[in-house]
Amino acid sequence: MYTSMHTSGRHSGRLLWAAFRALLVLTVITGVLYPLAVTGVAQTVFHDRANGSMAEADGREVGSALIGQQWAGEDGKPDPRWFQGRPSAGGYDPLATGSSQLGASDKRLVAAVRAARAQVADFNGVPVSEVPADAVTGSASSIDPHISPRYARLQAERVARTNGLPETAVARLVEEHTEGRAAGFLGEPHVNVLKLNLAVHGLARE
Amino acid sequence: MNQTTADVLQISALAAALALVHRPLGDYMAAVYTSRRHLRPERWIYRCVGADPDAEMRWPAYLRGVLAFSAVSLLFLYAMQRFQDRLPMSLGFEPISPDQAFNTAASFTSNTNWQSYAGESAMGHLTQTGGLAVQNFLSAAVGMAVALALVRGFARSRTGELGNFWSDLVRGTVRILTPVSVLAAVVLVATGAIQNFASPHEVQTLSGGGQHISGGAVASQEAIKNLGTNGGGFFNANSAHPFENPTGVSNLLEMFLLLVIPFSLPRTFGKLVGSVRQGYAIAAAMGVIWFAGVIAVTVTEYAHPGSASQLAGAAMEGKETRFGEGGSSLFAVSTTMTSTGSVNSFHDSYSGLSGGVLMLGMMLGEIAPGGVGSGLYGMLMMAVIAVFVAGLMVGRTPEYLGKKIGTRQIKLAACYLLVTPSLVLGGTALAMGLGDGEAAMTNTGAHGFSEVLYAYTSGSNNNGSAFAGFGADTPFLNTSIGLCMLLGRFLPMVFVLALAGSLARQSPVPETAGTLRTGKPLFTGLLVGAALIISGLTFFPALALGPLAEGLV
């Protein structure tokens, strides 16, 4: 800690005491009043969004529309009745977000991508050349709620077959759930996997 | 709309928004820091502090204010983490270990926001909003205050007085950072960012599993995290987390927030030194480097070199579907060149060459456009060097904005420039030599070395982003990177304020036919050249061992 030669110990003490009081009063403003004010507005005006954009089915909460999920059966393997999301470094656990962190030339990543390509191709009965990149790479958050429209279309036939639904009906759901770029140019076109699966769930129950 | 058009439009929209806002915001900030009036709540704050906001300070007094306030902040934040289990709303989390608590306290008070912890599994609500987010505001306000002191050094003559630190700190917080954050936070909630104080609650998913949905005052923290060029995420996934950055719109807003003050401060500077052209010459140099970085990384990521990306068909590892390569690359360059360090994609999985550009952006000293305040004073220090180099070429005493750049001034600027390279290269060498660096690597070979180099580059330049495969939560790394963050922040401030003091004392030198016109494009070119040659070459050998070796082999 810097102290000038001209500053006596008592002077430094006074300065630190002033600094401490400044910190406290500014903490009240930026650490208490600010978040409370924003929370007040958010909870009043955007109640659902402020609380996580929760999605419901069968009269209960089944997740957040913004948080991706694992669509696995009891054996932990991908369940063919559901549209599948991207590979996840953390198993879609929102309490352990983050990615694989492997470099673009890393041997382990090459092996993981190769295995994922084979798995996705086999699972959906398509040639490996048709498997899109997002289906075989882990997202940044590990809870990416979206897949590319191409990956969704590729899964439609399988989902229709395993749910006993007409393929055209499921393909239509995919088109309905394809969201374009915001304002036409922001971000990428995507499909929300949970919302799409909820629609499939609804259709299968009818 | 095809991919390229969308990306061009996205970059243009961001640049247009900044061009539109920099003028009113820059002028407003100039008014804030020169106004003689104190707002009523500000008077009340000064009474609590016991400080006279109208008392002018010379540079040593100003510096003592900066250091005392930052030291108290550091201790307070350290204590808060060490005792978080006894605080309300701790979510049942344990106290943070001493070395990690030191690292985090150093990180947030130095405006770095390097995170060796994972927010969702370590920090309680009160620690986040009442401790970490508070420093998002205050460390940013300190940076702006120091920049303003330097600007006053150029603007004033025959006085040693640089303004009042308490007044600058309070005004930056109350009149600039807080109102903009409130607005931005509400818009973020509208796009889907969460804002509550709930504990994680479990839901039963359709496929029969369970999932914990997190709560938190996320939007309010997200707004100031970007506006204050801090970068510390509420969650480990940072701005890649859908609760922090839910859509393409929120992504654009966050990039705008992290760039807006750094790109507006040159206008403030221009206003205060009496010539907005001087400010634009600085802003143009920042813009040129930023834009070149955006193009380099975007083009490289779309080309997706690297065997894994080639096999997958795109560089989507560590990137979110909703942002894609374009929205991720633009964010990555903006966050590394502003000393923000928030990420919407994980830089560790970028191609070798892109990773090198991101590192170079930090190595230039965070000046394009740099952090709030620190970007402006960093670029002005570089301008002093550039003027000096130009003066050597024509053989006359260099001057800048009517101030002589003599022996003392150039010594201070040179010392400023030496601090971060010493910390980056010394820290990296130490970590590699002792083996602690290698032990923390996730990746191997050249990319593994890049992880270590990135860590010390990010810490010393107060950026805070990471090649996050680097397992930085060890006592050695927490302590050494923590020290790099503190020295990389406060040592340069000593030189900046000393220079400001020496400039303010001078009498202005009249402009003559031989004076270098520093408000012209030629000077912008000189400035960009100086930055690239001086800082770029310093790091070339280190970059050759890491990203260049990875990207070119």
Which tens digit of pLDDT belongs to each residue from B309-340?
Answer: 999 999 999 999 999 999 999 999 999 999 99
- Please count the structural domains in chain B: 1
Q: Which two tokens stand for residue B180?
A: 């903009």
- A147: confidence class by pLDDT, cuts 50, 70, 90: very high
| Nearest-angstrom CA–CA distance, B236 and A90 | 12
Q: What is the pLDDT of residues A73-82, one digit of tens each?
A: 988 899 999 9
Q: Would you say residue B101 lies in a domain?
A: yes
* DSSP three-state, residue B203: strand
Q: Is the ipTM of this complex over 0.85?
A: yes
pLDDT at A3: 42
Contact B456, B431 (CB under 8 A): yes
Q: Is residue B53 part of a domain?
A: yes
Residue B186 domain flag: no
pLDDT in tens, B190-205: 999 999 999 889 999 9
Please name the residues in contact with B29: beta carbons below 8 A apart, sequence gap of 6 or more: B176, B261, B264, B265, B268
Q: Inter-chain contact A187–B327, Cβ cutoff 8 Å? A: yes
Rg (alpha carbons) of chain A, rounded to whole number: 25
Does B325 fall in a domain? yes
Mutate one of B67, B317, B344, B349 to test the A interface: name it (highest A CB count within 10 A): B317
Amino acid occupying residue B140: A
Compute the average pLDDT of residues B445-470. 96
A-B contacts at Cβ under 8 angstroms: 388
Q: Is A95 an interface residue toward B (CB < 8 Å)? A: yes
Tell me, what's the pLDDT at A140?
97
Of B48, B177, B318, the CB nearest to A99: B318
pLDDT value of residue A1? 41
Could you tell me if residue B253 is inside a domain?
no
B209/A69 Cβ within 8 A: yes
DSSP E strands in chain A: the ranges are 54-57, 60-64, 146-147, 178-179, 190-192
Per-residue pLDDT at A18: 97
pLDDT at B393 over 90: no
Q: What's the pLDDT at B132?
A: 95
- List Cα–Cα distances, B399 to A67, B522, B531, in angstroms: 57, 16, 19
| Domain boundaries, given as residue ranges, for chain A | 9-47, 54-205
B-facing residues of A in 50-79 (CB < 8 A) are: 50-54, 57, 60-64, 66-74, 79
- Given a contact cutoff of 8 angstroms between Cβ atoms, the answer to whether B194 and B219 are in contact is yes
Whether pTM exceeds 0.90: yes
- Give the torsion sign (CA, A139, A142, A146, A151): positive
Q: Choose the closest CB to B48 out of A25, A57, A148.
A: A25
Could you say which of B189, B320, B327 has the minimum Cβ distance to residue A42? B189
What tens digit of pLDDT does each residue of B169-180 get?
999 999 999 999
Domain of residue B339, residue span: 3-175+264-552
Chain B contacts of A97, Cβ < 8 Å?
Answer: 118, 120, 235-237, 240-241
Sort out which chain B residues have CB atoms less than 8 A from A104's CB and list them: 304-309, 315, 317, 349-352
